[in-house]
Amino acid sequence: MYEFFITYRSELTYTTIIVVTLLILQFILKKAAHKVGKQSEIHITRTRLMFKYINILVLLISVFALAIAWGVGLKDLSLIFSSVFAVIGVALFAIWSILSNVTSGIILFFSFPFKIGDKIRIHDKDAPIVGVIDDIKAFHILIINEEGELITYPNNLILQKAVSLIKKDVYRDEGKDSL
């Protein structure tokens, strides 16, 4: 065991530095996402979704950095990553709507002016929707319409349609009336 530490001393040192640096980076990114969520009054479940995205980003960076630290050549690493991304690219092209919904979910996290509990109207010429936002997920928004039906509306479409705010935060208003 002692020989292992002596033989791979520099690699283990680099690994320790990388892990500590990435943990600090992950902490800072999560703290920033939490701060943005709190300042924008974003529901905690949406903030937790951002935490998952941050974990994936840090994981990808760590795999790349640790591979370099342990001596994997840049040519080998670029071949592996290009192959993996080519396969992922073909798969995502085949299911582009899922990718657009996830991307829209990230955009909605930072810039969507409506919150969970707000009553909104989506101006869709085919089927206008009026209801209360029940939840905002990674792929879709859940809306409860006036008849009590649960409507799933894709995130990419909510960015393409005009949306009006009818009443701000219906759930909290109901709670205030009961006091």
Q: Tens-of-pLDDT digits for all 179 residues of the chain? A: 788 888 888 889 999 999 999 999 999 999 998 898 888 878 788 888 889 889 998 998 898 888 888 888 778 878 887 888 888 777 767 677 777 888 888 888 777 788 888 899 999 888 899 999 998 888 889 999 999 999 999 988 888 899 998 888 755 544 444 33
| Length of the chain as a residue count | 179
Residue 42 to residues 49, 117, 165, Cα–Cα distance (Å): 11, 11, 16
Q: Which helix (H) or strand (E) holds 114?
A: none
Is CATH 3.40.50.1700 the right assignment for the domain spanning 115-177? Answer: no
pTM of the model: 0.53
